[in-house]
Structure 1
Amino acid sequence: MSTFRLPRQREALSGFADDFAAWCEAADVPPAVATRFQIAFDELLTNAIAHGAASPEPLLVQLRADAGRLEAEIVDAGPPFDPLAQAAPDTTLALDEREPGGLGLLLVRELIDEVHWHHDGTRNHLRLAHPLSDAPATTG
């Protein structure tokens, strides 16, 4: 398992994107699967930085590729917040009738086969998993 520590700054995301791409290449993660995770990370880490608790602790991203799956866990210090409990946006409404937000999480659920959240008493844990064969996402 590899662990990346990201300062709670938007500027840190581009460096992480480069580190993640290099990690994926070394771990033989297919480019299509790496792209799915990169899009999900961009959404989830941006949200954690923009809306998360003010904490000096960095965000942690733990990665593992084995048993035919890419697994990632984002760990964020702070009060419990389950992004998966948020209502999905009603995409049938006209743009001017919709509430802003929620499309990024909808995209994450569509891209990644498994997405789970729990809070351990001090930190939020968001776990992502997807087959390395890049099968379509089936659950969220």
Structure 2
Amino acid sequence: MPSIKLPATIENLDRMLEFVVNGVNHFEIATENSLKKLRLVCEEMLTNIIDYSYPKQTGEVKIIYKVVTEEKKVIIKIIDHGVPFNPVEYKKPNLSASIEERDIGGLGIHIAKRIVDQMKYQRNEEQNVLTIVKFIN
């Protein structure tokens, strides 16, 4: 499975996103719309790692993807050694509250979870492992 490991910095975000989107696009199973959704989900998850996972130093993030062409499915693993954080259990924002009453944050994770078909989190050997599954239409 193709993988990339880079310092978790905002300067590397575009490179990380291009790695996934261009890699998936190479298989020619994804529509432009599904690639945009995949990019949005990865951007949200990676930005959270960049902003919060390594509060005292710059760490690394590893991205692995697998395209299952016969099932039209993409599996992405995002791995970091930062602060434990499970976006799957992150509380859903109160969307009925006014903007002034809402807590800050969480909307991007909520949107990402709605876009993908499956999101799984594990904490293994001091690392966060986020697995995202998206069926391509």
- 1:50-71 CA deviation, whole Å, 9 max, x = no partner? 0003455420110000142100
Q: Provide the secondary structure at the position in 2 that maps to 1:63.
A: strand
Equivalent residues, number? 133
Q: Is 1:90 aligned to 2:94, yes or no?
A: yes
Kindly state the Cα deviation for residue 94 of structure 1 after the two structures are TM-superposed: 0.5
Work out whether residues 77 and 131 of structure 2, in 8 Å CA contact, stay in contact via their aligned partners in 1.
yes
- 1:95-126 CA deviation, whole Å, 9 max, x = no partner? 00111100001011111010000001211000
Q: Is 1:65 aligned to 2:67, yes or no?
A: yes
CA RMSD after TM alignment = 1.6
Kindly state the Cα deviation for residue 21 of structure 1 after the two structures are TM-superposed: 2.9
Work out whether residues 79 and 127 of structure 2, in 8 Å CA contact, stay in contact via their aligned partners in 1.
yes
Alignment match, 1:137: none
Change (3 A) 1:57 1:29: farther
Distance of 1:105 and 1:56 partners within structure 2: 22
Q: Structure 1 regions of 5+ residues with no counterpart?
A: 135-140
Work out whether residues 59 and 82 of structure 2, in 8 Å CA contact, stay in contact via their aligned partners in 1.
no
TM-score by length of 2: 0.88
Matching residue's letter, 1:99? D
- 1:58-86 CA deviation, whole Å, 9 max, x = no partner? 20110000142100000011342212222
Q: Is 1:36 aligned to 2:67, yes or no?
A: no
Work out whether residues 24 and 74 of structure 2, in 8 Å CA contact, stay in contact via their aligned partners in 1.
no
Work out whether residues 65 and 77 of structure 2, in 8 Å CA contact, stay in contact via their aligned partners in 1.
yes
Change (3 A) 1:10 1:93: same
